[in-house]
Amino acid sequence: MKAFITEHEQVLVRISPRFSFTVDKGLEKIIGNFWDWGLETTNSCIDNNGRIWIEFIDFQTWERFLRLIFKNNLTVNGKTYLRETLWDFLLEKASISISFEEMVEDDPDNDNTVIGTGDLFQCIEMRFPKEYFEDFTTLLFEVLPPK
């Protein structure tokens, strides 16, 4: 796995008594909530060049998230537009991209390198401007109420 440099203050997110990880301070409620709903993330950042960045572990997780937010959009707006939903937010304010990476493992012949396994995985990256953070949080918790 590639190493990431931590630039922001980190806080612990405890998913279960045996599983926890750290995230940038300010994202802990959102990331913890995604995991509570079974939507695994792999990386996130509170300020990635002025944008919030959240990376989902795979396309299946991203698709489940989209189905939940689309269902909420239909419930709120039906056939007409009454107000912004998370669905609208993603369409208008967020950028989504897919990244592909090769799984790696430690090179048994060199402690400082890794070698590719030939297995690919994809991650879905969602980014949006930091100034929309509160709007995103409100809309997210409407779709995925904190447990």
Digit-coded pLDDT (tens) for 45-62: 999 999 999 999 999 999
Residue 4 lies in a domain: no
Q: How many CA atoms lie within 13 A of 116 on its CB side?
A: 6
Whole-number Å distance between alpha carbons of 11 and 5: 15
Over residues 62-91, the pLDDT tens digits come to 999 999 999 999 999 998 999 999 999 999
Residue 1 lies in a domain: no
Residue 24 lies in a domain: yes
Section 23-43 average pLDDT: 96
The predicted model scores a pTM of 0.82
The total domain count for the chain is 1
With pLDDT > 90 as the criterion, what percentage of the chain qualifies? 76
- What integer pLDDT is reported at residue 5 of this predicted model? 54
Non-local (6+) Cβ contacts of 131 within 8 A are none
Residue 40 lies in a domain: yes
Residue 46 lies in a domain: yes
Residue 118 lies in a domain: yes
Residue 72 lies in a domain: yes
Radius of gyration of the chain (CA): 17
Residue 131 lies in a domain: yes
Tokens of 60: 């299946």
Q: Answer yes or no: are the C-beta atoms of 115 and 107 closer than 8 Å.
A: yes
Long-range contacts of 115-122 (CB under 8 A, 24+ apart): 121/58, 122/58, 122/59, 122/98
- What integer pLDDT is reported at residue 3 of this predicted model? 46
Domain of 35, in residue numbers = 10-143
- What integer pLDDT is reported at residue 4 of this predicted model? 52
Nearest alpha-carbon partner for 86 in 29, 26, 143: 143
